[in-house]
Amino acid sequence: MSYNTFGRVFRFTTWGESHGPALGAVVDGCPPGIALSEDDIQPWLDRRRPGQSRFTTQRREPDQVRLLSGVFEGRTTGTPISLMIENVDQRSKDYSNVALAYRPGHADYAYDAKYGFRDYRGGGRSSARETAARVAAGAVARLVVPQVRVRAWVEAIGGDAIDPAAFDDAAIDTNPFFCPDPAAAARWEETVDAARKAGSSLGAVVVCEATGVPAGWGAPLYAKLDSELAAACMSINAVKGVEIGDGFAAAALSGEQNADAMRPGADGPAFLANHAGGIAGGIATGQPIRVRVAFKPTSSILTPVETVTREGEATEIATKGRHDPCVGIRGVPVVEAMIALVLADQALLHRAQCG
Ligand SMILES: Cc1cc2nc3c(=O)[nH]c(=O)nc-3n(C[C@H](O)[C@H](O)[C@H](O)COP(=O)(O)O)c2cc1C
């Protein structure tokens, strides 16, 4: 099995590599009649685009999307929607050492172990260039569930977290870190700059909240909404942890502390807390869905690290070239896209069974 496709009813397949001529996504199962143009997709890609600040990779990619199929007279036809993004700033010479030795923390050794042959230019298919295609597909997913708002931000970089009391949604789009706390964003300028100048890297925590998800979406037991969201986020490059609601912190609470008490409300139960992250028994409760995602520090660092060559000889490798000092920052639009893609799928699945 090759596993380049995600979703059950609203499905997308991504294709392409870091240094190929283009990459893209084919979205299948999209309902017909939805107004869709490149202008609906481009703003989301622009949020993920590299080279927008000194805190992200300096690879210059316009990430201009082309809509090749599935739309007629500005509306989806119900047939596969093909989205293409050209790669224009590939530089194979930055990666020549990677052909000979495996970069620790990258997929080089694992791909060789599996396929016995790999495109080493920029990590090939394992490069996070592929996530541009997810963001394009995610923009289509948002149009399938327009009542849902999917919003992510960076909660911590290198262990330095925002002050929850200072949370300001409007601030997220005003700094290069997608940070809702302006004071934390100011601190991160220094820490990320220092890591970048030292050729080092930092990890990050991204939080995503989906509001407007009606109670009832999801499924019990297998394919719980929790597990679909976790699988979606875990499939993103460099993600090493996913929590729903209080996640691991819930294990330290008592039953009383963890209870999401309910009172009668105007439109069904009003919840007094949301430790569960908006999901119970695998099904949405109507509360905000809350997902936390841990991104590891960028593996490409200038400090030489011990490794082995393809022939099994000891060597060292330092990864030169253009890299994100903290991949979690550009992970924000990718997390949003994956969650929108899951929710579009869940909306159609729910409709299929429950009408
Ligand atoms: C948006 C984004 C950008 C990334 N950019 C880089 C990068 O510049 N350098 C790097 O070493 N890893 C980068 N990564 C992570 C690697 O793609 C990833 O760590 C690698 O393919 C190994 O896969 P794994 O970490 O999921 O096991 C990025 C990840 C994301 C989500």
String of DSSP letters for 190-229: HHHHHHHHTT----EEEEEEEESPPTT-B-SSTT-HHHHH
| Separation of alpha carbons 289 and 291, rounded Å | 7
Judged against a pLDDT cut of 90, whether residue 53 lies above it is answered with no
**Residue of 192, 237, 296, 323 to test ligand 1 pocket, by largest number of atoms within 8 Å of CB:** 237
pLDDT band for 288, please (50, 70, 90 cuts).
Answer: very high
Task: Decide whether any atom of ligand 1 lies within 6 Å of the 56 Cβ.
Answer: no
| Separation of alpha carbons 162 and 184, rounded Å | 6
Longest CA pairwise span in the chain (Å): 69
Distances (CA, A) of 62 to 49, 52, 87, 277: 7, 10, 8, 36
Task: Decide whether any atom of ligand 1 lies within 6 Å of the 333 Cβ.
Answer: no
User: Which residue, by CA, sits nearest to atom 22 of ligand 1?
Assistant: 106
Judged against a pLDDT cut of 80, whether residue 321 lies above it is answered with no
Task: Decide whether any atom of ligand 1 lies within 6 Å of the 290 Cβ.
Answer: no
Query: Which whole number is the average pLDDT over 313-338?
Result: 92
pLDDT at 247: 98
pLDDT at 122: 85
Judged against a pLDDT cut of 70, whether residue 255 lies above it is answered with yes
pLDDT at 5: 98
| Separation of alpha carbons 5 and 26, rounded Å | 9
Q: Which residue type is seen at 95?
A: Y
The single-letter DSSP state of residue 287 is S
| Separation of alpha carbons 6 and 345, rounded Å | 10
Which of 23-27, 60-64, 211-215, 287-291 is the least confident region?
60-64
Backbone dihedral region of 308: left (phi > 0), alpha (psi from -120 to 50 degrees) or beta?
A: beta
Alpha carbon 333 to its chain centroid, in Å, reads 6
Task: Decide whether any atom of ligand 1 lies within 6 Å of the 238 Cβ.
Answer: yes
**Sign of dihedral through CA atoms 233, 238, 240, 246?**
negative
Which neighbouring-strand residues pair with 307? Answer: 315
pLDDT band for 92, please (50, 70, 90 cuts).
Answer: low
b/e map of 87-103 (b: 16 or more CB within 10 Å)? beebeeebbeebeebbb
Kindly give the distance from the C-alpha atom of residue 236 to the centroid of ligand 1, in angstroms, as a whole number: 9
pLDDT at 258: 98
Cβ 62 vs Cβ 49: under 8 Å: yes
pLDDT tens, position by position, 117-149? 999 988 899 999 999 999 999 999 999 999 999
Task: Decide whether any atom of ligand 1 lies within 6 Å of the 237 Cβ.
Answer: yes
Judged against a pLDDT cut of 90, whether residue 89 lies above it is answered with no
Distances (CA, A) of 138 to 25, 61, 142, 229: 10, 19, 6, 14
Mean pLDDT for the chain overall: 95
DSSP H helices, the chain, are 38-48, 108-115, 131-144, 182-197, 225-234, 255-258, 327-354
pLDDT at 273: 98
Q: Give one DSSP letter per residue of 32-88, joined into a string.
A: TT-B--HHHHHHHHHHH-TTSSTTS--------EEE-SSEETTEE-SS-EEEEEE--
b/e map of 154-169 (b: 16 or more CB within 10 Å)? bbbbbeeebeeeeeee
User: Which residue, by CA, sits nearest to atom 9 of ligand 1?
Assistant: 323
